């Protein structure tokens, strides 16, 4: 996060030096939102998913609506890596957070498409819906597998506890049997000594 703030600050300084004032306010907004997330990141576990989602959506808004347009290959390159970051954040988040992020990001991209295109193809929208639903299904199956693995680990740990207690009971039982055999043997020897007298 600190790297991102430093990177955006350098970008802000370059924009001010070049007097490119159309980019200054969006960069200030990104630095401000990054600083806010840094301040609210109090190392509490329940803050982390919301902050990751906020950063992901904020950065996507910045890339889609405020980042200065460059050459088309550069924009494709940046967009591909932005999508990769989005997918990593979506897979790494909880299912509810992933679903919310996926829906918000889809509508942001759809809004960007509508604003910047003369005509919107219906097949593009259907393909986007299909790919987002596929990603959502993958995330659901991934989280289901992770939860199943966690539950199996819990069951396995319980069986290890039961097995160790069973082993302890078995050892105790063997000691009791040995003690009983010893007592029986001693009482027979005592009986034989009494009988011989």
- Give a three-class secondary structure readout of the chain: CHHHHHHHHHHHHHHHHCCCHHHHHHHHHHHHHHHHHHHHCCCCCCHHHHHHHHHHHHHHHHHHHHCCCCCHHHHHHHHHHHHHHHHHHHHHCCHHHHHHHHHHHHHHHHHHHHHHCCCCCHHHHHHHHHHHHHHHHHHHHHHHHHHHHHHHHHHHHHHHHHHHHHHHHHHHHHHHHHHHHHHHHHHHHHHHHHHHC
93 and 30 in a single domain? The answer is yes
Q: What is the pLDDT of residue 189?
A: 59
Q: Is the pLDDT of residue 192 over 80?
A: no
pLDDT reading at 7 higher than 60 = yes
Q: Are residues 107 and 168 in the same domain?
A: no
Query: What pLDDT, on the 0 to 100 scale, is given for residue 165?
Result: 76
**Domain finish residue from 122, 152, 167:** 122
Quote the pLDDT of residue 137: 92
pLDDT in tens, 135-190: 899 989 988 888 888 878 877 777 777 777 778 878 888 888 777 777 676 665 55
Alpha-carbon separation of residue 1 from 23, 29, 31, 52, 63 (angstroms): 21, 15, 10, 10, 17
Contact between 23 and 68 under an 8 Å Cβ cutoff? The reply is: yes
Residues 115 and 128 in one domain: no
Domain termination residue (choose one: 90, 122, 154): 122
pLDDT value of position 31: 77
pLDDT at position 130: 92
Same domain membership, residue 9 and residue 63? yes
Looking at the fold, whether 118 and 131 belong to one and the same domain comes out as: no
* Residue 40 banded pLDDT, cuts 50, 70, 90: low
Q: What is the mean pLDDT of residues 7-13?
A: 80
Containing domain of residue 94, as a range? 2-122
Determine the pLDDT at residue 41.
62
Distance from chain centroid for Cα 69? 32
Among 75, 105, 122, the domain-final residue is 122
Other CB atoms within 10 Å distance of the CB of residue 102: 19
How many domains does the chain contain in total? 2
104 and 129 inside one domain:
no
Give pLDDT tens digits for 50-63.
777 877 887 788 77
Per-residue model confidence (pLDDT) at position 19 = 81
Q: Give per-residue pLDDT as tens, 75-133.
A: 778 778 888 888 888 888 888 888 888 899 889 888 888 888 888 888 888 998 999 89
Same domain, 116 and 184: no
């Amino acid at each position: 996060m600190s790297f991102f703030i430093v990177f955006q600050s350098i970008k802000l300084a370059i924009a001010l030096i070049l007097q490119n004032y159309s980019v200054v306010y969006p960069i200030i907004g990104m630095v401000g939102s990054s600083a806010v997330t840094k301040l609210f990141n109090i190392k509490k576990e329940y803050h982390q998913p919301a902050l990751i989602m906020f950063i992901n959506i904020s950065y996507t808004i910045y890339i889609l609506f405020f980042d200065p347009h460059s050459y088309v290959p550069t924009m494709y390159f940046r967009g591909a890596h932005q999508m990769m970051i989005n997918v990593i954040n979506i897979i790494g988040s909880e299912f509810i957070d992933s679903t919310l992020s996926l829906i918000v990001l889809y509508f942001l991209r759809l809004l960007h498409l509508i604003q910047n295109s003369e005509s919107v193809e219906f097949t593009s929208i259907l393909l986007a819906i299909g790919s987002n639903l596929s990603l959502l299904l993958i995330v659901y199956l991934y989280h289901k597998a992770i939860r199943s693995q966690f539950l199996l680990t819990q069951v396995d740990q319980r069986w290890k506890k039961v097995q160790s207690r069973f082993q302890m009971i078995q050892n105790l039982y063997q000691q009791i049997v040995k003690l009983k055999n010893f007592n029986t043997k001693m009482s027979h020897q005592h009986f034989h000594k009494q009988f011989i007298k």
